[in-house]
């Protein structure tokens, strides 16, 4: 696999998540102001609370997985301002079966601008160009905004995994929507 380090869209650019303390500070600042809206859906929002936590994520997940071909994390920047707005990544890659997942989050002030819709479309185009056949997206069934990203991008709701994830915030099991897009859908 040879994923590009930069993918330029109309409103946003996806950039490989570089291992720098500057980016760690940017991610930490964006997550901090968005934490309340992220907590119900993203378990990492509980744990990553400092720039050092974000640096560890950049080094030990983003960079490590990129180099090993196990995951490709991109930060999302507005084209005009250059501001960091969130991230999107390709993970759980199964090379044999030519599939993997897309995960994403946006800073709360950037929701509703079509940034994540564009990010998902940009990344999926690259994934299919790399020869993959199936992409999945999972979201908590109560996370309507995340579900709308998948729907708007043309993903098919395959079903609901009942009580498949423990919510540390709510101390209960929660359900997950599983969405997919296959190469045939993409090529229509």
Q: Token pair for residue 36?
A: 């309340």
Sign of CA dihedral 123, 128, 131, 136: positive
Which structural domain, as residue segments, surrounds residue 72? 6-133
Residue 40 has pLDDT above 80, yes or no: no
* pLDDT tens, position by position, 135-157: 999 999 999 999 999 999 999 99
- Per-residue pLDDT, 48: 64
Give me the count of residues in the chain.
Answer: 188
Q: What is the pLDDT of residue 98?
A: 97
Q: Is 146 contained in some domain?
A: no
Q: Is the pLDDT of residue 43 over 90?
A: no
| Mean of the per-residue pLDDT values of the chain | 94
C-alpha distances (whole Å) from 162 to each of 136, 139, 166 are 17, 12, 11
Number of neighbouring beta carbons within 10 Å of residue 27: 23
Given a cut of 80, whether residue 41 has pLDDT beyond it is no
What does the H/E/C string look like for the chain?
CCCCCEEECCCEEEEECCCCHHHHHHHHHHHHHHHHHHCCCCCHHHHCCCHHHHHHHHHHHHHHHHHHCCCEEEEEEECCCCCEEEEEEEEEEECCCCEEEEEEEECHHHCCCCHHHHHHHHHHHHHHHCCCCEEEEEEECCCHHHHHHHHHCCCEEEEEEEEEEEECCCCEEEEEEEEEEEHHHHCC
**pLDDT tens string 107-122:** 999 999 999 999 999 9
Q: How many domains does the chain have?
A: 1
Distance CA 165, CA 63 (A): 26
Confidence of residue 36 (pLDDT cuts 50, 70, 90): confident
Verdict on whether the full-model pTM lies above 0.75 = yes
CATH of the domain at 18: 3.40.630.30
């Amino acid at each position: 696999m040879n994923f590009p380090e930069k993918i330029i869209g109309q409103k946003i650019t996806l950039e490989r998540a570089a291992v720098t303390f500057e980016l760690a500070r940017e991610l930490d600042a964006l997550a901090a102001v968005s934490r309340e809206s992220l907590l119900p859906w993203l378990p990492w929002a509980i744990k990553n609370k400092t720039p050092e936590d974000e640096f560890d994520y950049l080094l030990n997940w983003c960079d490590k997985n990129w180099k090993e071909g196990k995951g490709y994390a991109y930060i999302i920047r507005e084209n005009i301002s250059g501001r960091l707005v969130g991230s999107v990544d390709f993970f759980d890659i199964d090379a044999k079966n030519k599939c993997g997942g897309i995960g994403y989050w946006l800073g709360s002030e950037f929701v509703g601008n079509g940034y994540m819709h564009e990010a998902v479309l940009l990344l999926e185009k690259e994934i299919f160009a790399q020869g993959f056949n199936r992409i999945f997206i999972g979201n908590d069934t109560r996370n309507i905004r995340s579900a709308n990203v998948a729907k708007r991008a043309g993903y098919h709701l395959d079903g609901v995994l009942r009580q498949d994830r423990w919510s540390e915030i709510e101390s209960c099991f929660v359900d997950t929507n599983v969405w997919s897009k296959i190469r045939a859908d993409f090529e229509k």
